[in-house]
């Protein structure tokens, strides 16, 4: 079986890589390793979601675990209920991937992401019995639970966003039923777009990975800001009133400086990943805020926050974590926290972000690979080192295999865009050559 845990659970193409039998097998394998005899399950709007929820639940029940279904719900809602009830959780979603993919994210008792040892233990059991036939031992009964939405509203003062004009892009995903209502309860005037999921339009030319229509809507409507979530609602990007896109680095900076000023930034430290732009690092340093760096993945950010006892961390992609309020990334919570900080500062989100983060030119490329991404990266290691040496302290190079897709990600930062683009072009060509088995010697010398 080729299925295995990536940086954020298990994902695959429906029907060819992931199906009901394999998900049923995963549920059975995980049942004894989640630290609870009950698990709450949610799913995003993909058409394959309900079938996979039933299959996962059958596996859990076969493994001796009771199941409570929340129906369509964002990932942070599942984690929130799991934390409040001290039970395990599971989310059927492929996040920002297209509708034909799906996957499973697992949470240990208390809504915590699984540790490496637990994932390995589940993987070993799953490999021994990768597929499980239908058991008929589960009959779906969905429970409406408003506690997550209430907790997001309660994370700021009543009416904190009164008067703000917002446009919200729900990616035709799991936040479609909740985001507008939560923001309205806080006093904002909200226009919601891409909130009509049909099973196949999730993330389609919308959401946090395709925010162009949100940018247009914010400008054309004269809104103060916009928020765009991904398919399962655990991350967010923002849009300023002039249409400028603000990613996780900008949102982290706004929250970090706000929390520092209120004495809420533990250890004056923010946890970031290796993808964090140099502009964020310099902006935080200007405010004497320390940075703790981890590998990519909100699971790594969460682990660092827990180990360090820190109060804020996140990723450039928009996964932001506030341990005070949540046990995982939460796009809606992040949006509320950022907008609340902006309102209290008496600033616009665009001005505040521009003042705090002067972005270093950055090129990000995703190169599809047919073989092992890790092997491809190893094959271009010499060129990576060579290019990094050329840039020195004026830039950064990061080449890594994706943990969620069959691609190798190339990131280059440099003091000017032209240098970043040329370095990235050489690295991308080397990655393609390595994947094709042609070697990297020619590329390294080009």
Q: What is the DSSP letter of 288?
A: T
Which residues lie across from 410 on neighbouring strands? 365, 399
Q: Residue 418: CA atoms inside 13 Å, Cβ hemisphere, count?
A: 0
Taking residue 109's Cβ as centre, other Cβ atoms within 10 Å add up to 18
- Using DSSP bridges, classify how beta strands 290-294 and 320-321 pair: parallel, antiparallel or unpaired: unpaired
Q: How far apart are CA 240 and CA 223, in angstroms?
A: 9
Which residues lie across from 271 on neighbouring strands? 292, 313
Element (H, E) at 27: helix 20-30
Q: Token digits for 52? A: 């996979």
Q: CA 282, 287, 293, 298 torsion: positive or negative?
A: negative
Q: How far apart are CA 111 and CA 418, in angstroms?
A: 44
Look-up of token digits 């827990």: 306
Q: Token digits for 378? A: 């190893």
Q: How far apart are CA 375 and CA 380, in angstroms?
A: 9
Question: How far lies 90's CA from each of 18, 30, 69, 143, 250, in Å?
Answer: 16, 10, 10, 15, 30
Taking residue 387's Cβ as centre, other Cβ atoms within 10 Å add up to 22
189 contact partners, CB below 8 Å, separation of at least 6? 163, 164, 165, 166
Catalytic residue (choose from 48, 93, 95, 178): 95
Classify burial at 307, counting beta carbons within 10 Å of its beta carbon; exposed 0-12, middle 13-18, buried 19 or more.
Answer: exposed
Which of 110, 225, 92, 118 minimizes the C-alpha distance to 161? 225
Active site residue 95: yes
The residues carrying an active-site annotation are 95
């Amino acid at each position: 079986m080729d299925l295995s845990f990536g940086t954020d659970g298990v994902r695959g193409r429906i029907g060819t890589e992931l199906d009901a039998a394999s998900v049923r097998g995963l549920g059975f394998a995980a049942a004894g390793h989640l630290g609870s005899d009950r698990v709450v399950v949610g799913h995003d709007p993909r058409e394959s979601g309900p079938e996979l929820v039933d299959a996962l639940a059958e596996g859990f029940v076969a493994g001796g675990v009771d199941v409570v279904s929340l129906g369509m719900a964002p990932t942070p809602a599942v984690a929130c209920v799991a934390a409040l009830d001290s039970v395990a959780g599971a989310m059927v979603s492929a996040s920002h991937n297209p509708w034909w993919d799906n996957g499973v994210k697992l949470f240990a008792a208390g809504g915590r992401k699984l540790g490496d040892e637990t994932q390995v233990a589940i993987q070993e059991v799953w490999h021994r019995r990768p597929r499980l036939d239908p058991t008929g031992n589960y009959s779906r009964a969905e429970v409406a639970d408003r506690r997550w939405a209430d907790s997001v509203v309660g994370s700021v003062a009543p009416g904190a966003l009164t008067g703000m004009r917002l446009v919200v892009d729900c990616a035709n995903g799991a936040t479609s039923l909740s985001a507008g209502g939560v923001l309205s309860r806080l006093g904002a005037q909200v226009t919601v777009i891409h909130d009509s999921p049909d099973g196949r339009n999730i993330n389609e030319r919308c959401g946090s990975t395709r925010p162009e229509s949100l940018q247009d809507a914010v400008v054309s409507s004269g809104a103060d800001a916009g928020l765009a979530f991904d398919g399962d609602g655990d991350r967010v990007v923002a849009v300023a009133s002039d249409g400028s896109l603000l990613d996780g680095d900008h949102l982290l900076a706004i929250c970090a400086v706000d929390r520092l000023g209120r004495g809420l930034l533990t250890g004056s430290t923010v946890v970031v990943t290796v993808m964090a732009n140099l502009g964020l690092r310099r902006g935080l340093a200007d405010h004497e805020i320390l940075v703790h760096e981890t590998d990519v993945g909100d699971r790594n950010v969460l682990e660092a926050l827990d180990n360090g006892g820190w109060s804020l961390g996140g990723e450039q992609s928009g996964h932001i974590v506030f341990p005070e309020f949540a046990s995982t990334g939460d796009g809606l919570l992040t949006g509320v926290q950022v907008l609340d900080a902006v309102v209290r500062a008496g600033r616009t989100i665009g001005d505040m972000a521009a003042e705090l983060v002067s972005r270093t030119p950055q090129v990000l490329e995703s190169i599809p690979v047919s073989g092992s991404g890790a092997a491809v990266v190893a094959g271009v290691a010499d060129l990576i080192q060579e290019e990094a040496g050329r840039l020195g302290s004026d830039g950064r190079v990061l080449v890594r295999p994706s943990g969620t897709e069959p691609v190798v990600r190339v990131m280059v930062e440099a003091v000017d865009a032209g240098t970043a683009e040329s370095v990235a072009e050489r690295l991308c060509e080397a990655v393609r050559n390595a994947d094709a088995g042609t070697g990297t010697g020619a590329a390294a010398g080009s």
